[in-house]
Amino acid sequence: VVQLAESGGGSVQAGGSLRLSCTAYGFNFDNSETGWYLQGPGNQCQLVSRISSDGRTYYVDSVKGRFTISRDNAKNTVNLQMNRLKPEDTAVYYCAADLPLPEDATCGAKGVWAWGQGTQVTVSS
């Protein structure tokens, strides 16, 4: 069974940090791009960050310098370290995997190999 299991998330005050983790099961993780999307209050789905199997990264402008994505191919995991969090970062965050991982997607929908279950991140001012 293809599965992405997420952990992390929660509630913090502005300026705080959270770490999201995602473990892949049931597919060849080494050959995928993995990353994180957010779904905000208006239900828009936005790619936040992605990382290729050889470590090339992408970040949306709003998180550059604050978020860091990393992956461990031996453990089939991808992590998102989120620092200096802002209230506008509040959203449900989804781990995803595909090759390539698209910039435009509908969170949780078919068309992407695998989605995590989503984890809530809430940042209070």
pLDDT of residue 29: 86
Q: What are phi and psi of 6, to 5 degrees?
A: -100, 155
Distance between CA atoms of 82 and 74, rounded to whole angstroms?
23
Quote the pLDDT of residue 85: 98
- pLDDT tens per residue, range 9-35: 999 999 999 999 999 998 888 899 999
pLDDT band at 111 (very low <50, low <70, confident <90, very high): confident
- Residue 28: what pLDDT? 85
Taking only the tens place, the pLDDT of each residue in 65-94 is: 999 999 999 999 999 999 999 999 999 999
- CA 100 from chain centre, in angstroms, equals 15
pLDDT at 27: 87
Which pLDDT belongs to residue 71?
96
User: Could you give the strand order of the β-sheet that contains 77-82, starting from the edge strand earlier in sequence?
Assistant: 3-7, 18-25, 77-82, 67-72
User: CA-CA distance, 3 to 40, in Å (whole number)?
Assistant: 23
